């Protein structure tokens, strides 16, 4: 999958939007193919569940681009920080 995503990213055109769970997100993080993260926080703590980010991902510095809150649901957009 990372080969296909890298090829798509190199093509001219629009952004690639991926709505995924932890498995796909972690595969793309490991090969540094995510430029922007959209995270939604819902006001319920579930306790157990699938972790979004695995322990063996590289450290990625991010900066907040946008924060929206509607009815207790918070959407945060992060982009990779350029140092």
Task: Over range 9-34, report the average pLDDT.
Answer: 82
Alpha carbon distance 65, 53 (integer Å): 20
Looking up residue 52, the CATH number of its domain turns out to be: 3.40.430.10
Q: What is the model's pLDDT at position 2? A: 67
Report how many domains make up the chain: 1
What's the pTM?
0.76
Quick one: pLDDT band at residue 68, thresholds 50, 70, 90?
very high
Flag the least confident range among 9-13, 18-22, 42-46, 56-60.
Answer: 9-13
Question: What range does the domain containing 70 cover?
Answer: 2-80
9 compared with 27, residue with greater pLDDT: 27
Nearest to 33, CA basis, from 52, 13, 58, 64: 58
Q: What are phi and psi of 50, to 5 degrees?
A: -85, 125
């Amino acid at each position: 999958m990372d080969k296909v995503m890298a090829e798509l990213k190199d093509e001219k055109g629009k952004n690639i939007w991926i709505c995924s769970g932890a498995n796909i997100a972690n595969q793309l993080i490991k090969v540094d193919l995510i430029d922007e993260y959209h995270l939604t926080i819902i006001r319920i703590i579930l306790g157990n569940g699938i972790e979004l980010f695995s322990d063996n991902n590289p450290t990625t510095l991010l900066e907040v681009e946008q924060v929206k809150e509607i009815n207790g649901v918070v959407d945060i957009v992060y982009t990779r920080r350029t140092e």
